[in-house]
C-alpha cells in the first residue's frame, strides 16, 4: 500500500498479529499430530491479539495525523475501535498497535484504518480478517459459514477440493455467535465459544484409510479423489468436545449438503 510522493500521509502496511507467532516445528502439549502436522486447540476469541498500522509521512513539514481504525461486517455492522492523534516529521514512519480484544467478534470482519489531517481523509488501508488469519493452516483452506443466510459464506473451497489432486485439503467451518436452523427442529442456539470445525465428509467409505482418530471418531481420512490421494481433516472440533446441542456432523441434512459441496460438478 505504498503511495507515491505527493500524498501528505499514507496508512501503510496493515499487519495482523496473532498469539501463535511463527510456525511451530514441535507440537504443543495437547495437540494432535499426524505426519508432522500439529492440530492445536485454540479459541478464536483469545487468539486475535492486535492489529497494526504503519503511518508514513510524505509531507515536507511536520504533520499531525489522526488515524481512525474501524471494523465493518455485512451491511449494518460498523464500529470504531481506535482513534488518536500522531505527530509525524517529514519522511517519518510510525507503527501503531491497535487494541483488538474487545470481547466482541473480531474475525470475519474488515479492518480499516483512515488517516485524517485536519479532519480531512488523505489515505486509508484495509484488511479482511478471516478466521484463517488466526488459525493453523495446512494446505488449501476454505471458509464456510454454516448459516448460509448470514454474510460471510463462500464456495471457493468446492473448486479447491476438485483441483487439489495431491496433498492436504483442510476445510474449516467457524460457528457465528448465533447459529440458526442448524437442527432438524430449526432451533437457534448460541455456542459456548467460537469454535473451528474441520468438515469435509461425514461418511467414511470402506476403501478409505483412517490413520488418526479422536476417540472413536475419525480425525483424518485418506482416500483417492480423482487423480490424487487426498488427506482430509474432518468431523471434530479443534479443542475440547463439549456436551450440548448436536454437533454439525450429527445434523441429519449434513451428509447431503457435504456431498454436494465436495462433489458438485464432478471430481477431477
Question: What integer is the mean pLDDT of 242-260?
Answer: 41
Read off the pLDDT band of 244 (50, 70, 90).
very low
Q: pTM for this one?
A: 0.41
Cell of 252: 441429519
For 160, counting Cβ atoms within 10 Å of its Cβ (0-12 exposed, 13-18 middle, 19+ buried), the class is middle
Q: How far apart are CA 7 and CA 173, in angstroms?
A: 41
3-class secondary-structure state, position 87: strand
Which residue, 96, 112, 107, is CA-closest to 48?
107
Angle, CA 250 vertex, CA 245 and CA 251 arms, to 5°: 85
Q: How far apart are CA 243 and CA 236, in angstroms?
A: 13
Read off the pLDDT band of 96 (50, 70, 90).
confident
- For residue 23, the tally of other CB atoms under 10 A from its CB is 8
Q: Are 1 and 125 in contact (CB under 8 A)?
A: yes
3-class secondary-structure state, position 258: helix
DSSP string, 22-62: SPPSSPPTT-EEETTEEE----HHHHEEEEEEEEEE--SS-
Q: What is the CA radius of gyration of the chain?
A: 22
Question: What integer is the mean pLDDT of 142-157?
Answer: 34
Percent of the chain with pLDDT over 70: 25
- pLDDT value, residue 55: 87
3-class secondary-structure state, position 102: coil
Q: What element of type H or E holds 179? A: none
Cell of 263: 462433489
Q: Are 143 and 128 in contact (CB under 8 A)?
A: no
With the C-alpha atoms ordered 100, 38, 261, 246, is the resulting torsion angle positive or negative?
Answer: negative
What digits encode the pLDDT tens for the residues 169-188?
A: 333 333 333 333 333 444 44
Domains in the chain (CATH in brackets) are 9-131 (2.60.40.10), 137-263 (no CATH)
Q: How far apart are CA 92 and CA 205, in angstroms?
A: 61
Q: How far apart are CA 59 and CA 118, in angstroms?
A: 14
What digits encode the pLDDT tens for the residues 29-68?
A: 444 443 333 344 444 444 445 567 888 888 889 999 999 9
Torsions phi, psi for 134 (to 5 deg) = -120, 25
Interhelix angle for 254-263 vs 156-163, to 10°?
60
Amino acid at each position: 500500500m505504498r503511495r507515491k510522493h505527493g500524498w501528505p500521509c499514507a496508512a501503510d502496511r496493515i499487519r495482523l498479529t496473532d498469539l501463535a507467532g511463527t510456525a511451530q516445528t514441535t507440537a504443543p502439549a495437547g495437540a494432535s499430530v499426524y505426519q508432522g502436522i500439529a492440530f492445536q486447540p485454540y479459541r478464536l476469541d483469545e487468539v486475535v491479539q492486535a492489529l497494526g498500522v504503519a503511518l508514513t509521512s510524505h509531507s515536507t513539514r511536520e504533520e499531525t495525523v489522526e488515524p481512525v481504525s474501524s471494523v465493518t461486517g455485512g451491511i449494518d455492522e460498523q464500529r470504531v475501535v481506535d482513534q488518536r492523534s500522531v505527530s509525524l516529521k517529514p519522511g517519518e514512519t510510525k507503527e501503531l498497535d491497535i487494541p483488538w480484544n474487545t470481547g466482541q467478534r473480531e474475525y470475519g470482519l474488515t479492518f480499516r484504518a483512515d488517516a485524517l489531517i485536519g479532519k480531512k481523509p488523505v489515505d486509508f488501508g484495509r484488511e479482511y480478517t478471516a478466521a484463517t488469519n488466526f488459525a493453523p493452516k495446512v494446505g488449501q483452506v476454505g471458509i464456510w459459514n454454516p448459516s448460509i443466510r448470514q454474510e460471510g459464506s463462500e464456495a471457493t473451497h468446492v473448486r479447491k477440493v476438485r483441483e487439489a489432486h495431491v496433498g492436504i485439503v483442510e476445510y474449516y467451518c467457524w460457528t457465528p455467535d448465533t447459529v440458526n436452523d442448524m437442527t432438524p427442529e430449526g432451533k437457534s442456539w448460541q455456542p459456548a465459544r467460537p469454535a473451528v470445525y474441520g468438515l469435509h465428509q461425514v461418511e467414511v467409505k470402506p476403501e478409505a484409510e483412517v490413520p488418526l482418530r479422536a476417540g472413536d471418531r475419525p480425525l483424518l481420512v485418506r482416500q483417492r479423489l480423482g487423480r490424487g490421494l487426498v488427506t482430509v481433516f474432518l468431523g471434530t472440533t479443534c479443542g475440547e468436545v463439549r456436551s450440548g446441542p448436536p454437533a454439525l456432523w450429527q445434523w441429519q441434512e449434513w451428509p447431503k449438503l457435504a456431498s454436494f459441496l465436495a462433489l458438485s460438478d464432478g471430481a477431477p
